Structures are given as C-alpha cells and as structure tokens.
C-alpha cells in the first residue's frame, strides 16, 4: 500500500508491503533475489491463509513456491527501502497516481462508439503519475482519423466514465496487432511508449 506522501517520494511504486504480508522475489531456478533484482513475486501471508484452484491441484502447485507461498505471476523487485516496483504485470491494469484503472471498462465504452472498430487501452509513461491512460483505436471504413475525432471520442468517454479513467490521448492505427486467436497484443502496442524507460509497465 502507498499513501500520498510516499507516492511523492516513490512515484511509480506500488508501495510497501502490509505488515502481515511478506514478499519474496524469486529468479530463474528458484533462487531468492536481493534488493533491486527483478524476479517473480511470491507472497506469504503471516496470518497463514492460502488459496487453491478448485479441482485443479496441478495448477495450484504451479503457483506455489512452497506451502503458503504463492505467486500471481507478476514480475518486479523490492528497492533498498522495501518498496515494491512492478516490471511486468499479469493482470491487465493501469496504476496512475496510485489508483488502479482497469482498461476493459474503458474499452467497453469506446467500443460502443459507432466509428470504433477495435480498441485497446494501455498505460504509458507519465512523469507525475507513473502511468496515464492511452487508447489505441482502429476505425470503421470511411471514418477519418484526426484530432477532432480523438476529441470527440474523449468527450464520449467523459459522458460515461469518471474523469481519471478518460484517456489522456488517443492514437489511431489501421488495425491492431493480434495473435493467431484474435487477441490484441498489448505488449506490442505498449513497447514503443516504454522504450528507454526503467519501468516497462
């Protein structure tokens, strides 16, 4: 968790672990890593609580380092002061100014506009807030991609979303990159904006 004062000092950090939560950073081969070394994040709850996937013992085993120590699949590191920084994120989420923003909600709204064929919402670097919301849109045939339409789409979002969820910017592509199964490849969309950044989300 992180408060406003900590955010000013550690902008971009997820915060320090709760007192009852231990974070263990694990590298390739299961080696435990020290400060500022990125690896898979594992969690141990001092209360002794754990979880398992229903009727899926193999899946449960895959996410456990040992009994009571589990991972969500996120990658990151602890700095010298014990603050957690994410390097890669399994869950599709934007953290802006310490607030969690879920792209799917914004994508549903933008996808409802008559001129939008496809949309992907990603987080891009912001010096003050860590990340800001950007939408990348492909349009239906005949629609003109210009600044006026971007403003129109942002106004459309403002009618249906809280202000902090409205994309700060909208870019247009002829088509969005997808996998063979049709899933949008957000990593490819994010890459140009994060090039040269220490953080990659």
The boundaries of the domain holding residue 153 are 94-194
Burial class (CB in 10 A: 0-12, 13-18, 19+), 60: middle
Residues 18 and 105 in one domain: no
Residues 51 and 8 in one domain: yes
Residues 163 and 119 in one domain: yes
Say if residue 20's pLDDT is above 80: yes
What is the chain's alpha carbon radius of gyration, rounded to the nearest angstrom? 19
Indicate the pLDDT class of residue 33, thresholds 50, 70 and 90.
very high
pLDDT tens for residues 62-112?
888 888 898 877 888 999 999 998 876 666 788 898 888 889 899 999 999
Residues 105 and 164 in one domain: yes
State how far the Cα of 61 lies from the Cα of 103, in Å rounded to an integer: 30
Q: pLDDT value at position 132?
A: 96
State how far the Cα of 18 lies from the Cα of 74, in Å rounded to an integer: 17
Does residue 200 lie in a domain region?
Answer: no
Out of 6-10, 21-25, 122-126, least confident range: 6-10
Q: Kindly state the helix (H) or strand (E) to which residue 88 belongs, with its residue range.
A: strand 84-88
Count of structural domains, the chain? 2
State how far the Cα of 151 lies from the Cα of 14, in Å rounded to an integer: 31
∠ Cα 159 165 167 (to 5°): 85
Q: pLDDT value at position 88?
A: 67
Among 70, 88, 106, give the residue marking a domain's end. 88
pLDDT tens for residues 117-162?
999 999 999 989 989 999 999 999 999 999 999 999 999 999 999 9
Q: Are the C-beta atoms of residues 60 and 52 closer than 8 Å to each other?
A: yes
Q: Kindly state the helix (H) or strand (E) to which residue 95 belongs, with its residue range.
A: strand 94-96
Say if residue 201's pLDDT is above 60: no
pLDDT tens for residues 163-191?
999 999 999 999 999 877 777 888 899 98
Residues 109 and 187 in one domain: yes
State how far the Cα of 132 lies from the Cα of 166, in Å rounded to an integer: 10
Q: pLDDT value at position 35?
A: 95
Among 88, 122, 155, give the residue marking a domain's end. 88
Q: Are the C-beta atoms of residues 43 and 70 closer than 8 Å to each other?
A: yes
Does residue 24 lie in a domain region?
Answer: yes
Higher pLDDT, 40 or 181: 40
Residues 108 and 157 in one domain: yes
State how far the Cα of 87 lies from the Cα of 103, in Å rounded to an integer: 18
Residues 81 and 104 in one domain: no
Which CATH number is 78's domain given?
2.30.38.10
């Amino acid at each position: 968790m992180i408060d406003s004062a900590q955010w000013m000092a550690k902008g971009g950090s997820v915060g320090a672990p709760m007192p009852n939560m231990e974070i263990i950073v694990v590298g390739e081969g299961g080696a435990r890593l020290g400060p500022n070394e990125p690896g898979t994040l594992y969690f141990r709850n001092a209360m002794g609580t754990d979880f398992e996937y229903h009727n899926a013992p193999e899946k449960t085993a895959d996410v456990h380092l040992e009994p009571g120590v589990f991972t969500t699949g996120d990658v990151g590191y602890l700095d010298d002061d014990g603050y957690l920084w994410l390097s890669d994120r399994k869950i599709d989420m934007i953290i802006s100014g310490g607030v969690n923003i879920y792209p799917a909600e914004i994508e549903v709204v933008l996808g409802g506009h008559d001129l939008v064929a496809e949309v992907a919402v990603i987080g891009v670097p912001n010096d003050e807030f860590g990340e800001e919301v950007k939408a990348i849109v492909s349009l239906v045939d005949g629609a003109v991609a210009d600044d006026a339409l971007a403003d129109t789409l942002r106004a459309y979002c403002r009618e249906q979303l809280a202000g902090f969820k409205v994309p700060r910017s909208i870019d247009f592509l002829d088509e969005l990159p997808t996998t063979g199964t049709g899933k949008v490849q957000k990593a490819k969309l994010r890459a140009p904006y994060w090039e040269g950044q220490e953080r990659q989300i």
